[in-house]
Amino acid sequence: MEFMTDPAGIEARSMEIIAPHLTGLQLSPAEVKVYSRMIHASGDPEYAPIIRIHPEAIKAGCQALSAGCNIYCDVEMVRTGINKNRLAEYGGTVQCLIADPEIAAIAQNNGITRSMAAMRQFAGQLDGAIVAIGNAPTALFEVLDIINRTNIRPALIIGVPVGFVGAAESKALLHETAPVPYITVLGNKGGSPIAAATTNALVYMLEK
């Protein structure tokens, strides 16, 4: 069986195939890059009409990354998917506490998810940083609650939790009420590769 084996060629051809799915959406060149990576990561062009990018999101995210901000994730799969070598060139790191035994104990004692407890623990560190949530609606609800109760303001929230319990609701709340820039996907779809791909799209836009 004949098939492409060259990584750069595969990526270029993928982007060519995705492009027609974005026609009519009136996207900026930077938005096209973000949309394309989200669709590439899901294999699902039906993401195109449900992606929502705040007008300041890409600029704010790139500025924060250039300044060396950290990225705070809900789950390890998001951390794994982010290009940490490229990020490190600007001084940023990727943080995740879901596997921390102390966080597990706090979650258990409070009857909440570990990713929610992790966001509560990060709290002030989220100020000026990027939040990347690819799995847990509860983590996104918690970040929105922190913003609502405090002066903590992430530079950008990449909020694409997935599933049927709270995912659509948490992302609608992000889209409709967040006083900070965001990138999200309406409805039930999302996931760790979508969060990582969105983050990487911004990282790849940076120029040294």
Give the residue numbers annotated as catalytic, written as ranges: 40
Among 70, 192, 198, 199, binds a copy of itself (CB under 8 A): 192
User: Which uninterrupted H or E stretch holds 40?
Assistant: helix 29-42
Binding to a copy of itself (CB under 8 A): which residues in 134-173? 137-138, 141, 144-145, 162-167, 169-170, 173
Q: Dihedral through CA 187, CA 118, CA 202, CA 92, nearest 10?
A: 180
CA distance 80 to 94: 9
Binding to a copy of itself (CB under 8 A): which residues in 68-87? 76-77, 80-81
Residue 146 β-bridge partners: none
Among 43, 101, 176, 208, binds a copy of itself (CB under 8 A): 43
Residue 156 β-bridge partners: 130
Q: Which stretch binds a copy of itself (CB under 8 A): 48-56, 63-71, 107-115, 149-157?
A: 107-115
Closest distance to a copy of itself from the beta carbon of 192 (Å)? 6
Best CA proximity match to 184, nearest among 31, 51, 67, 19: 51
In eight-state DSSP terms, residue 111 is: T
Closest distance to a copy of itself from the beta carbon of 124 (Å)? 22
Among 59, 187, 205, 206, binds a copy of itself (CB under 8 A): 187
DSSP string, 69-105: --EEESSHHHHHHS-HHHHHTTT--EE--TT-HHHHH
List residues binding a copy of itself (CB under 8 A): 1, 3-7, 10, 13-14, 17-18, 40-44, 76-77, 80-81, 107, 111-114, 116, 137-138, 141, 144-145, 162-167, 169-170, 173, 187-193, 196
